[in-house]
Amino acid sequence: MRENTGTHEKEVIPIRLVQAVGALLLVTLLMVGYARLSDMPLIGTPKQVPVVSETSLEFIKQKNGSVSIFNNNGQEVINSRAGPYGFIVVVYNGFMSERKKKKIDINNPLKLIQYEDGRLTIVDESSSWDMHLNSFGSMNAAVFKELIK
């Protein structure tokens, strides 16, 4: 008696699915190429508007785990433990994470910028990091809006 040693394996991924994914990738590349070559405006980026005001802030982590913000004169203006200022720690962790990735050891001040349309942005020029504060809700943005007056 002879056994059938040639087994017929089933396809794990159907060939039509692979072709469909390939076609989708090709269409996506063509659309992106057309958009870049035809100078289509970028969607989702804020319009360029004038800066209303700007200030420098220095963030320092305290021994008790809180984060303090100091103004240009070296005065502590906010501490994350006092009141509803926990968002300050989120901002601190954001730019410190970027600084660690880029191996930046200096503690340069950050710029807080208010634009004419009401947007608030905090920028770390040493690591090219920025955070649009309005994206995190009006209460969190209000914490920094107090600092720019």
User: Exposed (0-12), middle (13-18) or buried (19+): which is 78, by Cβ within 10 Å?
Assistant: buried
pLDDT in tens, the chain (149 residues): 555 555 667 778 899 999 999 999 999 999 999 988 998 887 877 788 999 999 999 999 988 888 999 988 888 888 888 777 788 888 999 999 999 999 988 888 999 999 999 899 999 999 989 999 988 888 888 888 888 86
- Using CB atoms within 10 Å of the CB of residue 140, give its burial: 0 to 12 exposed, 13 to 18 middle, 19+ buried: buried
